Amino acid sequence: MLAINPNAAGVLDVLADCKLLTGSIEEVIPLEKQAIRLSPRDPRIGWLHLRIGQVHQLQSRIDEAIQWLERARGAVPELPFVHLLLASAHGLKGDTERAAAELAEARRLHGGDRYSSIANVKAFRGGYWGAPKIRDLFDATYIAGLRKAGMPEE
């Protein structure tokens, strides 16, 4: 599809997601930024910001992750996952008060028990997080941050 239309922002976003899941995370941010440049008013802009923040977090660039995740939250405040990522990022940064507030908001928005424990988050995740390299990075950043945010193991 990109061969036909190299300006297809939606296709760039899907390609970035594939790169994330297959472990080529160094390619994700440039693809998402290109999609944002091509379609700055895209209705899914919050998702593009979220993925950039997510990759910064996986790469342990927490300040950058928080900046992008806050942009995502501004665009899609009703999305529980953006609050969960922010909870994790603030937990990693040591800001447990903000982490706890974001975790509470993620739980409120979701309404189920998916975000009640590390075990539930991991059970939901299943194989979705992609390649083993990415799963390891998620455990080292995302899950570690959720623990610091106060999420119990069980």
Domain-embedded: residue 4? no
The model's pLDDT over 38-76, given as tens digits with 9 standing for 90+, comes to 999 999 999 999 999 999 999 999 999 999 999 999 999
3 within domain boundaries = no
pLDDT at 6: 73
Give the pLDDT band (50/70/90) at residue 2: low
The pLDDT value given to residue 7: 74
d(C-alpha 93, C-alpha 105), whole Å:
18
Q: Is residue 119 part of a domain?
A: yes
State the pLDDT at residue 5.
74
Only one residue has tokens 């999305």, namely 79
For the cut 60, the answer to whether the pLDDT of residue 140 exceeds it is yes
Hey, is 124 helix, strand or coil? helix
The H or E element containing residue 137 is helix 132-138
In a domain, 153, yes or no: no
Decide if 154 is inside a domain.
Answer: no
Asked if pLDDT for residue 95 goes beyond 60, the answer is yes
Domains contained in the chain, number: 1
Is residue 2 assigned to a domain?
no
pLDDT the model gives residue 130: 78
1 lies in some domain? no
What is the CATH number for 90? 1.25.40.10
Whether 31 has a pLDDT exceeding 90, the answer reads yes
Domain-located, residue 125: yes
Q: Are 12 and 31 in contact (CB under 8 A)?
A: yes
DSSP 131: S
Query: For helices 62-75 and 80-93, what crossing angle results, to 10°?
Result: 160
State the average pLDDT over residues 98-126: 91
Sign for the CA dihedral angle at 60, 136, 123, 31 comes to positive
The parent domain of residue 63 ranges over 9-148
